[in-house]
Structure 1
Amino acid sequence: MRVTPQGLYCVPGDFFIDPGRAVPRAIITHGHADHARPDHDHVLASAETLGIMQARMGEGRAGRQRQVAVPGEVVRHRDVEIRLVPAGHVLGSCQVVLDWQGSRIVISGDYKRRRDPTCAPFEPVTCDVFVTEATFGLPVFRHPDAAAEVARLLESLRLFPDRAHLVGVYALGKAQRLIALLREAGWDRTIYLHGALLKLCELYEAFGVKLGPLAPVPAPAKRGAGGLLAGEVVLAPPSAEATAWIRRLAEPLVCAASGWMRVRQRAKARGVELPLIISDHADWDELLATIDEVQAPEIWVTHGRDDALVHAMALRGLRGRALHLLGRGEEDEDPVPPETAPAETATEQIA
């Protein structure tokens, strides 16, 4: 493997993994914008990831040629054996396992180790080199149980029935996972969605992930009127909080579901009243546990707090290498539709 301006390049196979710009041949681990870029000539990915790319980019930009790889299936290209294995990050997310001349490298993409009812769980694969993310690669990041965080949201709904609970979530992955966790916790009422979340929730449903009753946030009867959805759960991209759209809701109690909510300053700066520490990435302990499981003597870190993780690897007698790939960790949302987003709207990272 070689690090290039486009990203990770497999020399014997002549293809890129999650390239940051258009290339002739790409393997895509998952559909977030910092990994799935448009306009490649040939794209190999899971069926779900290809579906997500088409939904977000349009039919003509999700790869001129698209090849579905079923997880576990071996695809051979120029003597390199390629296999996709579930990564547990979002629907269709996969690790890329490459075997060539007796050596194996595993590129994890983004991954989490917690249970998620909306996607297949992470599967560790032993290898010679493991390429890992490190979004939450500091000892301070130890994620609590997601069900307990959802219980806090439900308790707040009980305590403040006159307020709409607006939860900032990613359109891809976080929204659907939070919906599924709410269903498991017994919330069977309609969950209301910002329009920017509807398309991907419908796509999840099309792939067999049942989310229960959902509806778009209704428009007020009169222009400028508000007071809607008291006591209800409303999901929206984080950027929507800064738009006039929020005025529709009844005394909105602003929440956010993110691993970054462990950092109180982030929550305070965004005006989050109820921070929910729910992450779709591995925390510090899970990063270390995963590295132990894959048994790789060499660890490459693509993004996040690579310095801390590389140092931890050195203490364990492992070779660590920070790759410093450009554009990683910026899981930007699709822009909020113009009619609901004034010019001052800013999209903030929430992982």
Structure 2
Amino acid sequence: MPPHPETWLRVTPQGLYCEPGGFFIDPVRPVDRAVITHGHADHARPGHQAVLATVETLAVMRARMGEGGAGAVQQPIGPGEVLEQGGVAIRLVPAGHVLGSAQVVLDWQGSRAVVSGDYKRQRDPTCAPFQPVPCDVFVTEATFALPVFRHPPPEGEVAKLLKSLALFPDRTHVVGCYALGKCQRLIRLLREAGWDRPIHLHGALAALCKLYESLGVALGPLEPATVANKAALRGAIVLAPPSAVQDRWARRLTEPVVGVASGWMRVRQRAKLRGVELPMVISDHADWDDLNRTVDEVGAPEVWVTHGRDDALVHALGQRGIRGRALHLVGLGEEDEGGTEAPPATGEGDAAAVRGVAAGTDVAAVSRGEGL
């Protein structure tokens, strides 16, 4: 009988460790051997001796952390390629999260585990789509694992932005979006919707946009956003880090329409508290329906949850006869700006569901969607 993955994959202070292979997946501390799922800073950290990742993820790590930050030894692995380490066959398949993001497929002695990293199932014109892989254990995130989180088509959210531009042609529209993944996806969605004018970028977003273009993702005309030249930004789209749209940088613009592109904009109270006039529900994480659909498609009898709203997801899985296990990996989902989406503030309305689960109330009712 093949060994159960819990006998060869274990949680350590550094992160998830593959014992026969002698490597960690997305470790939060420096290690000798690391396999990295994608370039967001809560998953890709500096200081590792040897790093295995996709070509794109290694490029992102070098851009964000310097040449040495991507590992003293950097080993890219291409689509369909299999590498063996300590008898463990390793391959990377697309996760659909950001450019270069990958699931780690591990096969050892007839047993298979898939570590998904962060992922989404909606279409993204900047990266390869998620590929379901049948397995014995599926390791998933649970960032939006509550029934209240059902992400609408992103094309409709972009249409809201363009409609606002048509209604207020003299106002600058400033949209907060994360530097890696969300920014470039939003640009491509705008291009697909017909916006061919220059898109203005806060300086913190420019380097990764340049990297995306060097890796084959065309973004069209981009220009720096300079608040000193406010007249030139009338009727323009400006993209900036979420933190910048709430400080004096954005407020210095003339009558800005402030937007934020995030899955957390589904929580209306959060948008209100942050002064967001144009909330855009665009997420690079799977929502409640897609999390459950993915579990069905991979067919794993057991699902491990790395971080997020694990209690509701584990309960819902149990109702379907699937064994769920919360790993409580420390350090994942904690990046404020680099790419993951910060936890929601509690409030009224939709946010009551978030507050209720966090307080340990009726998880069964939440997983059924009652009151949401």
For the 8 Å contact 1:192–1:214, the answer to whether it is kept is yes
Q: Report the counterpart of residue 186 of structure 2 in structure 1.
A: 178
Q: Report the counterpart of residue 113 of structure 1 in structure 2.
A: 121
Amino-acid identity (%): 71
1:250 aligns with 2:254: yes
- Residue pairs, 1:1-351, within 5 angstroms: 1-220=9-228, 226-333=230-337, 349=342
SS at match of 1:220: helix
Structure 2 CA distance, aligned partners of 1:28 and 1:316? 31
SS at match of 2:148: coil
Aligned amino acid, residue 29 of structure 2: R
For the 8 Å contact 1:24–1:41, the answer to whether it is kept is yes
SS at match of 1:288: helix
Cα deviation, residue 183, structure 1:
0.2
Cα deviation, residue 100, structure 1:
0.1
Cα deviation, residue 333, structure 1:
2.3
Structure 1 residues 249 and 350: CA distance shift in structure 2, 3 A: farther
Cα deviation, residue 178, structure 1:
0.3
Aligned residue pair count: 336
With normalisation by structure 1, the TM-score equals 0.93
Structure 1 CA distance, aligned partners of 2:232 and 2:40? 31
SS at match of 2:243: helix
For the 8 Å contact 1:33–1:332, the answer to whether it is kept is no
Q: Which runs of 4+ in 1 moved over 4 A?
A: none
Aligned amino acid, residue 49 of structure 2: D
Structure 2 CA distance, aligned partners of 1:252 and 1:227? 12
Q: Report the counterpart of residue 343 of structure 1 in structure 2.
A: none
Unaligned runs of 5+ in 1: 336-346
For the 8 Å contact 1:227–1:248, the answer to whether it is kept is no
Unaligned runs of 5+ in 2: 1-8, 345-372
Structure 1 residues 348 and 77: CA distance shift in structure 2, 3 A: closer
1:305-338 deviations in Å (ceiling 9; x for gaps) = 0000000110010110000001111233259xxx
Cα deviation, residue 10, structure 1:
0.2
SS at match of 1:275: strand
Structure 2 CA distance, aligned partners of 1:309 and 1:123? 21
Cα deviation, residue 227, structure 1:
4.6
For the 8 Å contact 2:333–2:341, the answer to whether it is kept is no
Structure 2 CA distance, aligned partners of 1:37 and 1:150? 32
For the 8 Å contact 2:112–2:136, the answer to whether it is kept is yes
For the 8 Å contact 1:258–1:350, the answer to whether it is kept is no
